[in-house]
Structure 1
Amino acid sequence: MIELDGIDRRLVRALADDALQTAGALGRRFGLSQPATWRRIRKLEAAGVLRGRRLRLNAQSLGFGVTVFLGVKLATKGRVSLEDFERAVSAIPEVQQVEHVLGLYDYRLRVVARDLPDFERVLRRRIMTLPGAGEVEANVLLSEERLPGPL
């Protein structure tokens, strides 16, 4: 674990709010030169504190009006490797997130679809045909009050 000073913490917060800010703009904001700011950002990336800069797309604006959280229990534990399932499910474009979890289900998936019939198609033709896919439970997202963000 890396020790973060006050400026590092402020940089992380600022980049979490808007990852497109330049090192020059951040430096002016925090009283650093552009090269010093860039070195700090590189240090945070090298330490794994910053893991890339992602663009957040609005799925609904792109025509994906349904988000479903899907719990998946593997049917044949031991006969199919977790890596095989993870690799296969990650290749499905509608699956936005794959989480290996402890509990009733083995995996929690975040799936987007254009509408419920489209989700049913993705579920039947893509997800349920995966190696080891067994029992599933679907929860349709009604609203999202807080988007994922920094810790």
Structure 2
Amino acid sequence: MMPLDDTDRAIVLALVRDAAQSTAALGKRLGLSQPATWRRIRRLEEAGMLKGRRLRLDAEKLGFGVTVFLGVKLATKGRVSLEDFERAVIAIPEVQTVEHVLGLYDYRLRVVARDLADFERVLRRRIMTLPGAGQVEANVLLSEERLPGPLRG
């Protein structure tokens, strides 16, 4: 693992807050030239510490007022492959993330819907009909605060 110095940490934290900022603006704030900032970002990307830059959408403003986390336990382990379940669940547009986890459930899904009635439709017609889908537990998101992760400024 590549060691991070204070400048690398500052770059990572700044990009977590706003990944769209220019290297010139970022460098100016950190007291670096644009080329030096670009080289450091490139090095962090090549080391695999930065995995792309994502646009964060406001689901509610786009008409998706409900976010639900689902714990899904497969009903017939061994009779249906994990790959079949994953391939099928990834094809559902309302499913934002699919995480294979260890614990009570086999998968954790983040699902968005327009409202609870829409979520019920997605659950009954799409998720519960997936190959191997068994027990499901739903947790409705009430509020969310995103943190930058283990590197805090």
* TM-score, normalising length: structure 1: 0.94
Name the residue aligned to 1:11.
Answer: 11
Name the residue aligned to 2:102.
Answer: 102
Name the residue aligned to 1:135.
Answer: 135
> Is the 2:27–2:37 Cα contact (8 Å) retained in structure 1?
yes
Q: Look up the SS of the partner of 1:125 in the other structure.
A: helix
Matches within 5 A, 1:45-64: 45-64=45-64
Residue segments in structure 2 that go unaligned for 5+ positions in a row: none
Deviations 1:96-149 (A, max 9, x none): 1111111111111111100111101111111111111111111111222x1253
Q: Look up the SS of the partner of 1:80 in the other structure.
A: coil
> Is the 2:70–2:137 Cα contact (8 Å) retained in structure 1?
yes
Deviations 1:64-119 (A, max 9, x none): 11111111000111121212211211121111111111111111111110011110
Q: CA deviation at 1:55?
A: 1.1
Q: Indicate whether 1:43 and 2:43 are aligned.
A: yes
**Which amino acid is the alignment partner of residue 130 of structure 1?**
L
> Is the 1:23–1:38 Cα contact (8 Å) retained in structure 2?
yes
Counterparts of 1:14 and 1:147, CA distance in 2? 14
> Is the 2:72–2:108 Cα contact (8 Å) retained in structure 1?
yes
Residue segments in structure 1 that go unaligned for 5+ positions in a row: none
Q: Look up the SS of the partner of 2:99 in the other structure.
A: strand
Q: Indicate whether 1:25 and 2:25 are aligned.
A: yes
How many pairs were matched up? 150
Name the residue aligned to 1:150.
Answer: 149
What percent identity do the matched residue pairs reach? 79
> Is the 1:75–1:133 Cα contact (8 Å) retained in structure 2?
yes
Counterparts of 2:105 and 2:90, CA distance in 1? 17
